[in-house]
Amino acid sequence: MSLIAPFAGLRPRAELAAEVAAPPYDVMSTAEARAMVQDRPLSFLHISRAEVDLPEGTDPYSEAVYAKARENLERLRADGTLQQDPTPRYYAYRLSLGEHQQTGLVAAASVAAYLEGQIRRHELTRPAKEQDRVRQISALNAQTGPVFLAYRAASAIDDRLQAICQGPSAIDIRAADGVRHQLWSIDAGDEIGAFNQAFAAVDRLYIADGHHRAAAAARVAEARQQSTTAKATPNANATAAKQTTATTQASTHATATTDAPSTARTTATTTTTTDGETKSQPQPSDHFLAVLFPHNQLRILPYNRVVRDLNGLEPAQFLDRIAKSYRLEPNTQPVAPTERGEVGLYLAGRWYRLSLSPERIPATDPIGRLDVSLLHDQLIEPVLGITDPRRDERIDFVGGIRGLEGLSARVDSGEMAVAFSLPATRMEDLLAVADADALMPPKSTWFEPKLADGLVSHLLSG
C-alpha cells in the first residue's frame, strides 16, 4: 500500500503568503484569535477560527461558524489570494527557529494506511474535538490543517529534500513568533517518482501531532465512500462487470508507484459487479493533508502539569508523602529536569528537584517508563488522588513553550497549588509506544515549532 501521494495544493500567492499564514487553530483562545485578525483580512484564521467574524459569544461549534469558514475560503479563492496548482505534486517545507531547522515533505497521506496501522497513533482523541474537525472538513470540502507526521530518518529522502531546498523557494516568510516558513514546489515527474520510490521503502509513519485531524479525515473518507456505494439493479443476463462514470469531477492523486504526476482532474468512477454491488473508486478524501519529517530533526518540549489543590494535605504533609518515593532537593532556581525520573516541583514559592530511584523506573515498559507516566503513577494518582487526568478538572497542562515562569505564575496567583516541570518526551520513546500499538498519557508531547495553517490546503473537489 502506498503511504503517500502527490496532490494539487491550494496555496497563497507568494506575495500574500505572510498575510495568509496563521498559527494552528488549536493553540489559541477565541479572544487571542480575534486580536490576531485585526487589520488582517487575508489571515487564514478567518477560515480556521471563523467565529472571529461573528458576534462575540458565538458558539465556536455552531453551524454559523462552519458556514462562515466556507464563505471566507470561497472569498479568498475568488479574489485570487488562494490558487490551486494545476497538477499534483509534493512540496518541501522547512521550519527554522534560531539554530533549529527541520525539513519535511508535504503530501497526501493514505487514509487506508492510517486505518490499517501503517500510520501509527499514540494518543486517544476526544469525540467533541474530532467531530469539530469532521464538520470543518465537510463544510470547506477541504483539509486545511496538516497532520504532523514523522518517519524514521532515511538518507534517500532526507538528502533529496535538502538538495531541493538549495533552489529558490516558492514561499519564504517569517511569522510573528520568529519562525521562518519556506515552501518549495516539487512538480517535476522524475522528482515525484524519486520520492514515491523512496517512501515505498518506509514501512510506517507516525503521527507526531494532529490525531484529531487524522481521525476526522478518516471519518469523512468513510462517509464519502459509503455515499458513493450503492446497490445496482441486478441484471440476470449480465455476464461481465459494467462500469458507470460519475458526472462529478474530483481531484486525482498519482499513486506512489507512478513516476510522473497525472492531470489535476479526473472523473470519479464506480464499478458495478455482476452481483449488483457498486464499489466506489478512489476519491481525494481517501487521503489527508500531511507534512512528513525525519524523526531525528524534530524538537519536543516538555508538557508540564499544575494541580489546583494538595488533596487535603498541608504543604509539609505533601512533601513527606513525596519523600517516600523521591529524593527531594530544595533549589534556589527554577528546575528544568533533563534526566529520566527527575521532576521539578514548585510549591509555596519554592522550587525542589525530585529524583526517582532507578529501581522504580520500568526497564522495558514503553509507557510505564515515560516521565509523564512516572509522575502520574508515583505522585499524581497516589498522593493527589487524580486517577483520570483526561477528565479531572483539578489538573491542567502547560506547554513547554510558555517556560517555567508560566508554572510559578499560576501557583503564585493562587489559581493552582503546585506545579511540576518534566523532561521532554524523547522521540525514540514516542516511536516505541506507537510501535507497541499503545497509547501515551494525555498531553505527553509538545512539538515546536508548529506548522502554519494556510500555506498548503488539500481540496476534496475543485
pLDDT digits (tens, 9 = 90+) for 18-66: 999 999 998 888 999 999 999 999 999 999 999 999 999 999 999 999 9
The residue type at 64? A
pLDDT band at 191; cut points 50, 70, 90: very high
pTM of the model: 0.85
Identify whether the C-beta of residue 272 lies closer than 8 Å to the C-beta of residue 222.
Answer: no
Would you state the pLDDT for residue 248? 34
Would you state the pLDDT for residue 1? 82
Is the predicted pLDDT of residue 229 greater than 90, yes or no?
no
Would you state the pLDDT for residue 275? 53
In whole angstroms, give the CA distance from residue 141 to residue 135. 10
Nearest C-alpha neighbor of 289 from the set 33, 48, 17: 48
Is the predicted pLDDT of residue 145 greater than 90, yes or no?
yes
Q: Domains in the chain, please, with CATH?
A: 4-222+288-299+449-459 (no CATH), 303-423 (3.30.1760)
Identify whether the C-beta of residue 293 lies closer than 8 Å to the C-beta of residue 102.
Answer: yes
Would you state the pLDDT for residue 247? 32
Of 69-78, 103-112, 137-146, 390-399, least confident by mean pLDDT is: 390-399
Is the predicted pLDDT of residue 245 greater than 50, yes or no?
no
Left, alpha or beta for 403 (phi > 0: left; psi -120 to 50: alpha)? left
State the chain's mean pLDDT as an integer. Answer: 90
pLDDT digit string, tens, across residues 57-111:
999 999 999 999 999 999 999 999 999 999 999 999 999 999 999 999 999 999 9
Average pLDDT score over residue span 364-389: 96
In whole angstroms, give the CA distance from residue 374 to residue 368. 6
Report residue 78 as a C-alpha cell.
475568488
Average pLDDT score over residue span 199-213: 96
